[in-house]
Amino acid sequence: MKAPLLAGLLVVPFLVPPFIGGYLPHQIASYLIFGLFALSVSLITGYGRLFNIGIGATFGVAAYSVAMLSQMDVTNPWLVLACSLVAGSLVSLLFGLYSIVATGIEYLMLTFLTTLAFFNIPLAAQKATGGENGLQVKHELEIAFGLDPLTGSGFYWFVLILVTAVAGLSWYLLASQAGQVVRAIGRNPTRTAAMGYNVSAYRFALTLYSGFVASLAGWLYALQAAFVFQDLLGPINSLNGLVYALIGGADSVAGPFMGALGLRWLSERLSQQSTQSSLYVGIVLLLVVFFIPDGLVGRWRQLWQRRKIGRAEPEGEPEVPAVSLAGAENESAL
Amino acid sequence: MNQVVLQALNGLVVGSSLALVASGLALLFGVLDIINFAQGEFFMMGAYVLWLVLGATHNYALGFVAATVVVGIGGGLMLQLLTQPLLEKAHVLVLLATLGVSLIVQQLAQNVFGGDAKLLPTPIEESVDIGPITYPVYDLVIVAVGLGLLAAGFFWLRYAKYGVWVRAVAQNRPMAAILGVPVPRVYFLAFVISSALAGLAGALLAPVTSVFPNIGGPVILNSLIVVVAGGLGNFRGAAWIALLFGEVQSLGSIVMPPVVVQLVLFGLVIVLLALRSRRKTVLVRL
């Protein structure tokens, strides 16, 4: 019963938007790309409990390297992909180092300062990066494996397949032995260290993997938008990713995608009617913090659990406390 | 030579006003372990309050007092309201809440006052000769007020009853509560003082810069850097680093483009914080 339903759910996004056509596939592809970005935030923040508010730097560096390579007339798509991932990973190497030397508020401030520093780099290197004006991606067809993001469904399917694969891989990794250790470290690093696991090594690996996901998102973004600009590197983009992840539920794989879809759709709709989008983002942020700190998925899980417990006999399974950012159960929570 | 003296004085102006904002942030972090991202918006509100008062009365002294009191009480109440339900939860939520408030206040200021920059006349027109250059007196007043308040804050924390209580709560909250320190009152005091400092700094700088809704952006960034570099929650450290930061930025801009100076400062702070964060200290230290 469950498997066919799941398969059906998976098939729908592959068929329906291209069938409807028009602008829809393009729009959904952009939501998926930002969902991927939010997933990388949720991996590190939701599961690893390392409060990274600078992951936009990874995303932006990956996107910028696509644009800069294309400006140098590099048209081999594989080379562009590889360079973009390597550049993004170098930034996440930096975050990895932070995760070794710092936790809690210091880690947060380090990541914040890093994204600020990267935000300023285009201004310091005007010529290579285009400065405040941003940078155009040239040869966008060649470097996107010949898929046109604007017409047809090819690029949409490409994004969808990639995103599904990465989401599946993330889910698999989190369910694996190593993923369980990462979660345990998130909940209580001291206890996990006492059990003999190398906390720093697991945190470092998680940071690198999340950086890989963010770089992939940045690469896809550059291919689709064919334009990169300063804000991609800075705190605004980083915080957007965090907010998507938090709204959807930072400790799930599906949550970040739901958050990105909902919030981007909302802000696109609102910005068509008025210029008050930062007002609405602020209000949404407050609503999330005060009413659904576990995100939509977390809230849904809570309700689901309550229903199950309500139906079961008193000796039914004990309520597992949801892993949430709101809980103050672990010392490293800020 | 003239250039160096001029930039050194400019650095002092930037540094002392930055020190007011940053020491408020440091105090708040020391007492409650929270970072207020809306501090830049409190700075902006201080500037707007001065502008409003000037429009009505042309009285600068009244304007500065009004900016301090209005922003102090308003910001204090708002922080109290925000943090009250979140204190038992992760402190990151407080941080995100203040971030939300900062976005909202910025947009509201844009809606109410418009996006244009409001120019304010300087309250003291005269200039004095300092060595080879002439320098506006008002800028020197900013430095004097800033440094005076920081010194007052230092002595208050050291000797006054509430100052000692603030440090006690920062050092060990449960123990302070057991020994009879009224912790909620100390919290509220920290909220009010840190907001008031930002409001006053905004009002003081308004005649020099001008007033517009996004004025708080660079302020909060610089003061966060300063607070981090000064040792989170370290009142005196924040003040010293703010002065140093102002000087480095001003003097550095003689030889390098300002953006490069900024990048170098970021790099320095990141290294400093990374080196230091191994030993964890969150106290209002003196």
Task: List the CATH number of the domain containing B73.
Answer: 1.10.3470
Q: Does A325 touch chain B (CB under 8 A)?
A: yes
Contact A279 B100 (CB under 8 A): no
pLDDT at B77: 92
For residue B283, being part of any structural domain is answered with: no
**pLDDT at position B215 over 90:** no
For residue A309, being part of any structural domain is answered with: no
The pLDDT of A43-72, averaged and rounded, is 87
Contact A101 B277 (CB under 8 A): yes
Biggest distance spanned by C-alpha atoms of chain A: 69
Contact B232 A105 (CB under 8 A): yes
Burial profile B95-106: b = 16 or more Cβ within 10 angstroms, e = fewer? bbbbbbbbbbbb
For residue B281, being part of any structural domain is answered with: no
In 3D space, the residue among A98, A101, A11 whose CA is nearest the CA of residue A55 turns out to be A98
| Band of pLDDT at residue A250, cut at 50, 70 and 90 | confident
**pLDDT at position A145 over 80:** no
Tokens of B20: 């007011």
pLDDT at A61: 92
For residue B221, being part of any structural domain is answered with: yes
The pLDDT of A66-70, averaged and rounded, is 86
**pLDDT at position A17 over 90:** no
User: How many CB atoms are closer than 10 A to CB A320?
Assistant: 8
For residue B15, being part of any structural domain is answered with: yes
For residue B117, being part of any structural domain is answered with: yes
Question: In whole angstroms, what is the distance from residue A283 CA to residue A237 CA?
Answer: 18
Mapped onto helix, strand or coil, the DSSP state of residue B182 is coil
Q: Which residue has the higher pLDDT, A74 or A216?
A: A216
For residue A304, being part of any structural domain is answered with: no
Mapped onto helix, strand or coil, the DSSP state of residue B118 is strand
With contact defined as beta carbons under 8 Å apart, do A232 and A135 qualify?
no
DSSP annotation of B211? B
| Band of pLDDT at residue A320, cut at 50, 70 and 90 | very low
pLDDT at A315: 46
For residue A170, being part of any structural domain is answered with: yes
Q: Does B266 touch chain A (CB under 8 A)?
A: yes
Which amino acid does the sequence have at B140?
A: L
Closest CA–CA distance from residue B59 to any residue of chain A (Å): 33
With contact defined as beta carbons under 8 Å apart, do B78 and B196 qualify?
no
Closest CA–CA distance from residue B161 to any residue of chain A (Å): 29
The residues, any chain, with a CB within 8 Å of residue B252's CB and separated by 6 or more, are B258, B261, B264
The tally of domains found in chain B comes to 1
The pLDDT of A273-279, averaged and rounded, is 66
Chain B residue numbers touching A99 (CB-CB < 8 A):
none
The pLDDT of B264-284, averaged and rounded, is 64
**pLDDT at position A313 over 60:** no
Question: In whole angstroms, what is the distance from residue B253 CA to residue B260 CA?
Answer: 9
**pLDDT at position B173 over 70:** yes
Tokens of A123: 């201004």
Query: What's the mean pLDDT when you consider all of chain B?
Result: 83
Least confident of A77-86, B88-97, B148-157: B88-97
Contact A117 B96 (CB under 8 A): no
The residues, any chain, with a CB within 8 Å of residue B14's CB and separated by 6 or more, are B245, B246, B249, B250
Closest CA–CA distance from residue A31 to any residue of chain B (Å): 22
| Band of pLDDT at residue B28, cut at 50, 70 and 90 | confident
Question: In whole angstroms, what is the distance from residue A222 CA to residue A241 CA?
Answer: 16
pLDDT at B74: 92
**pLDDT at position A324 over 50:** no
Q: Which helix (H) or strand (E) holds A146?
A: none
DSSP annotation of A319? P
The pLDDT of A215-240, averaged and rounded, is 85
pLDDT at A332: 39
Least confident of A72-81, A202-211, B224-233, B277-286: B277-286
Residue whose token pair is 């990267």: A118
Q: What pairs with residue B129 in β-bridges? A: B134
| Band of pLDDT at residue A328, cut at 50, 70 and 90 | very low
C-alpha A316, offset from chain centre: 36
Least confident of A173-187, A212-226, A290-304, B241-255: A290-304
In 3D space, the residue among A237, A228, A205 whose CA is nearest the CA of residue A84 turns out to be A228
The residues, any chain, with a CB within 8 Å of residue B27's CB and separated by 6 or more, are B166, B190, B193, B194, B233, B235, B284
For residue B29, being part of any structural domain is answered with: yes
In 3D space, the residue among A82, A43, A35, A51 whose CA is nearest the CA of residue A210 turns out to be A43
CA distances from A272 to A30, A132, A267 (A): 17, 24, 8
pLDDT at A235: 78
Contacts with B, A 250-269, CB within 8 Å = none
For residue B22, being part of any structural domain is answered with: yes
pLDDT at A311: 58
Percentage of chain A beyond pLDDT 70 is 78
| Band of pLDDT at residue B128, cut at 50, 70 and 90 | confident
Contact A124 B97 (CB under 8 A): no
pLDDT at A326: 44
Percentage of chain A beyond pLDDT 90 is 10
For residue A275, being part of any structural domain is answered with: no
**pLDDT at position A318 over 60:** no
The tally of domains found in chain A comes to 1
Closest residue in A to B274 (Cα) is A101
Q: Does A102 touch chain B (CB under 8 A)?
A: yes
Helix axes A277-291, B91-113, angle to 10 degrees: 150
For residue B78, being part of any structural domain is answered with: yes
Question: In whole angstroms, what is the distance from residue A175 CA to residue A169 CA?
Answer: 10
Q: Cα-flanking dihedrals φ and ψ of residue B136, to 5°?
A: -60, 140
pLDDT at A216: 92
Question: In whole angstroms, what is the distance from residue B8 CA to residue A329 CA?
Answer: 49
| Structural domain that includes position B216 | 2-276
Q: Does A125 touch chain B (CB under 8 A)?
A: no
The pLDDT of A264-285, averaged and rounded, is 74
**pLDDT at position A141 over 60:** yes
Closest residue in A to B261 (Cα) is A124
Chain A residue numbers touching B88 (CB-CB < 8 A):
328
The residues, any chain, with a CB within 8 Å of residue B122's CB and separated by 6 or more, are B136, B138, B207, B208
Strand segments (E) across B127-174: 127-130, 133-136
**pLDDT at position B282 over 50:** no
Model confidence, pTM: 0.79
- N- to C-terminal Cα distance for chain B? 36
Strand segments (E) across chain B: 127-130, 133-136
Closest residue in B to A283 (Cα) is B100
The pLDDT of B231-259, averaged and rounded, is 81
Percentage of chain B beyond pLDDT 90 is 10
pLDDT at B278: 55
| Structural domain that includes position A116 | 21-245
Burial of B264 (0-12, 13-18, 19+ CB in 10 A): middle
Chain A residue numbers touching B259 (CB-CB < 8 A):
120, 123-124
Q: Cα-flanking dihedrals φ and ψ of residue A227, to 5°?
A: -160, 135
Closest residue in A to B35 (Cα) is A105
**pLDDT at position B286 over 70:** no
